[in-house]
Every structure is written in C-alpha cells, then in structure tokens.
Amino acid sequence: MERICDFLNKDQLMPTTSTGYRFTLQGDTYGLVQGELQIADPGPHEVLIKVHAASLNYRDLIHWRNKAGRPMEGVIPCSDGAGEVVAVGSKVTRIVPGSLVAGSFFQEWVNGPFEMKYHQQALGGSANGMLAQHVLLNEQGVVKIPAYLNGIEASTLPCAAVTAWAGLVERGGLHTGQTVLVLGTGGVSIFALQLAKAHGAKVIVTSSHDDKLVHAKELGADETVNYKTHPDWDKVVWELTHKQGVDHVVEVGGPGTLAKSLGSVKASGSVALIGVLTGFGPMGDSLFPLVAKNASIHGIYVGSREYFERMARFMEQHQMHPIIDKVFDFDHAQKAFEYQESGQHFGKVVIKM
C-alpha cells in the first residue's frame, strides 16, 4: 500500500502533519475514523497532492458497509479526489507543481486493454484512496484537469464520469442521433445524461422520484419515466422509441433491472453492464434477448487514464460541468456517506477538505 504523507516544499513554511480517514471495523461494518498520516518525501516518480475534495460513489458505500467481500481495515476510502500538486519527485516529467490533478481510478491502467493486474492498485479499494488532506500518487496515476473546472468539480470525475464515458463512448461508440437510456439519477447516470446530450443523442431517464425527473428534463433529458409508478418501464421505453428500443442502455441496476434493460435495447444495440444497485445476484437467466436482437453487452469497470484524458478534453470542448448535489465539510465525512446511502442525491456528493 502506498505511503500517504504531508511532505511539502521545504523552502516554504508548511505543516508537517496531515489528516485522513481510514476504515476501521466496528462490529459488522466499518467506521470512518479520522487520524494523523505518516510523513514521507515523494519518491522519484511520485507527486504529492494537497487534496481539495473527494467525491462519493456507490462503491464507497459497499466498502463502508463491509459488503465488498474483502477486508478494508485501515484503507483510506474514496477512489475519487482532486487537488493541487504541491511537490514532485526528482524524476517526474508529466506534472509540475501547481497543477490541478485528479487521481486515476486504476493507478496502473494508463492505456490499452484492461488487464487483471490493474485491480491491485485501485484507489479507495486495493490501494489507499483520496479521503485525506494529502495523498502521494505515481505521476502515471494522475490526470491534469482543464482550467475551467475547480477542485470540487474535478473530484467527481475519476469513477462515475469515466465509467459513463467508457460505456457510452469508448466501448459503445455513441454518436449523434442515437438514443440512450439511463437508469436512475445517481452519479454515473447523470454523467451519462450529460455526455449523451453533448454527443447529440436523445436521452430517456428513469427515476423513482418525479422531482428528479423534472431536474433531468432541465438538464436536457428528452423523455422521463418513473420506474416506481411504472414498474414495466421497459414497455414505456419501447413505446417512447416507437417500438424500436434504445441504442444504448447505461445498466447500473444489475439483477433487478437487467431483463428490462435487455427488453429496452434496440436490435444491434449496446448495453453497458455497470452496476449492482439491486444487488449481486445472478444475472444470467435473461440474456437470450441479446441473441435475438444481435445486441452487445459490455462489461465496464471504470476506464484507463487515457479514457479519462479523452473525456476531460471532450468536457472542456463542451464546457460541461459536473452536477453536484451537496458538498460536505471534511469533518462531516460520515454525514456525506449517510446522505449518499439515503439515495436522496441527484448527481454527485462531495466532501471538501
């Protein structure tokens, strides 16, 4: 596990200690315990980041509630965070001090196809995450953030936004005039809505809350469906698409929604299989519609640093700003986790340092 430190430019008068949260087992679940972090100098290829903000993903709740199926004791939570580089190692060439950067979810997946070894360095999981005042990352594991975004906005990008981008653009080949279905109004789904609209696609959004559907319309959603009052939402989607189905489904629900997502996809369409909001149960019973429709399903696990960089360029071109629901203070991190768990949010929940 990498070092987390508070090493700062020795010419400046800087604090020598830093704080961060760690998961600490409390009964069956983890607590979020704030404490002092070790001080270390950046290694030759490392950059020290003064974190401005971290953002939450459903995955952080899985870890917090001890449902990941592996121990998280002592791990610094959160894959997602961004901040200013305040010191760099002697051989760093990609990044200069003063840059605003975000961590890349899989620290070692820079480009090319995914390899299983990349799981060994996933921020906020197999490696320490971003819920700390300072973090030390390899220069290859950070992405420079375009100047039009601030640290709070940048903190929302590494997991949810890159996942939506991977599913729709890198793997799905989204293009103008296509139709996209996004399930719910959480982090991944709202980024998918924004990215799809910026590509000139038509977007259908589902939600359990009518007020969230109104908000989705304000962001450009063309059609909306309340999946609580319309449990057969796939049939509604079918009618909305003149019995053709959608070109892309951003499938964040898992076992409880997959059959209806397959019912909603068009012939030759694409399903980005992303999430587990309805649990981790078997998903295999209902795959035949893919055959009948000559449709594709893509397993998506976030993306490479290059995906992130391409997405950041696209966002800058379109001046796209992340949709942030609430920002919590660092000392109230647990409140942020509780709020995310309540499902009241629309878009992203952020913790600022």
- Binding to ligand NAP by residue 149, rule CB under 6 A? no
* ∠ CA 303-345-25, rounded to 5°: 70
What strands lie across the sheet with 202-207, from one edge to the other?
223-226, 202-207, 179-183, 246-251, 265-273, 296-299
- Binding to ligand NAP by residue 163, rule CB under 6 A? yes
> What residue type is assigned to position 309 of the chain?
E
Site for ligand NAP in 217-276 (CB under 6 A): 227, 252-253, 256-257, 274-276
Q: CB-wise, 57 or 107, nearer to ligand NAP?
A: 57
- Tokens matching residue 293: 């429709």
**Candidate residues 42, 124, 141, 184; the one interacting with ligand NAP per rule CB under 6 A:** 184
* Cα–Cα distance for residue pair 256/114, rounded to 1 Å: 27
Q: How far is the CB of 298 from ligand NAP (least distance, A)?
A: 10
Which part of the chain contacts ligand NAP (CB under 6 A), choosing from 25-33, 80-88, 156-164, 310-318?
Answer: 156-164
The answer to whether the beta carbons of residues 142 and 109 sit under 8 Å apart is no
Q: How far is the CB of 147 from ligand NAP (least distance, A)?
A: 26
Which part of the chain contacts ligand NAP (CB under 6 A), choosing from 129-137, 149-157, 178-186, 325-333?
Answer: 178-186
Q: Which residues contact 70 (CB under 8 A, 6 or more apart)?
A: none
**Candidate residues 3, 45, 209, 310; the one interacting with ligand NAP per rule CB under 6 A:** 209
What is the maximum alpha-carbon separation in the chain? Answer: 67
- Tokens matching residue 121: 């360095």
**Candidate residues 24, 126, 278, 296; the one interacting with ligand NAP per rule CB under 6 A:** 278
* Cα–Cα distance for residue pair 5/221, rounded to 1 Å: 43
Q: How far is the CB of 240 from ligand NAP (least distance, A)?
A: 16
For 351, list phi and psi in degrees, rounded to 5: -120, 120
* Cα–Cα distance for residue pair 350/353, rounded to 1 Å: 10
Site for ligand NAP in 48-77 (CB under 6 A): 57-59
**Candidate residues 77, 141, 187, 263; the one interacting with ligand NAP per rule CB under 6 A:** 187
Q: Which residues contact ligand NAP (rule: CB under 6 A)?
A: 57-59, 159-160, 163, 183-188, 206-209, 212, 227, 252-253, 256-257, 274-278, 300-302, 340, 343
